[in-house]
Amino acid sequence: MIRWAMMERPPYIEDTWKIVGFTSSSNQVMTPGTEATIRKAAERDLEVGVICADRDGNRIRIDRVDPGAEILSYHFLNDELRVQEGIQECSTQQFLAAGWYMAAPGTSL
């Protein structure tokens, strides 16, 4: 539980709060789920239309996957999920080595 204390109220701000300290911590055991919400993209996940993100939150959408040549193309997306930059192309192995993450089905990044 976190304790909160009211700071001096400036005339232009309704309520300003600060954290004073922690009174306890939560060390409850969490049961593992059957599927992670966010996980690293694997080769089996690489399909046209899949949206992935890196550790900084940059999102991309896969545009083309060529399994024979092991090449894929993608483009970066803005916050509204619209195209932000031109199409990028790299090998499947380079893409996976970059450490892109994806959301589980039914969830978002």
Q: What is the mean pLDDT of the chain?
A: 75
Q: Which domain, by its residues, includes 49?
A: 38-103
Look at residue 2 and tell me if it is in a domain.
no
φ, ψ (nearest 5 deg) of residue 65: -125, 125
Q: What is the pLDDT of residue 21?
A: 41
Look at residue 68 and tell me if it is in a domain.
yes
The average pLDDT across 15-30 equals: 45
Query: Greater confidence, 105 or 42?
Result: 42
Look at residue 14 and tell me if it is in a domain.
no
pTM of the model: 0.62
- Domain count for the chain: 1
Q: What is the pLDDT of residue 36?
A: 60
Look at residue 9 and tell me if it is in a domain.
no
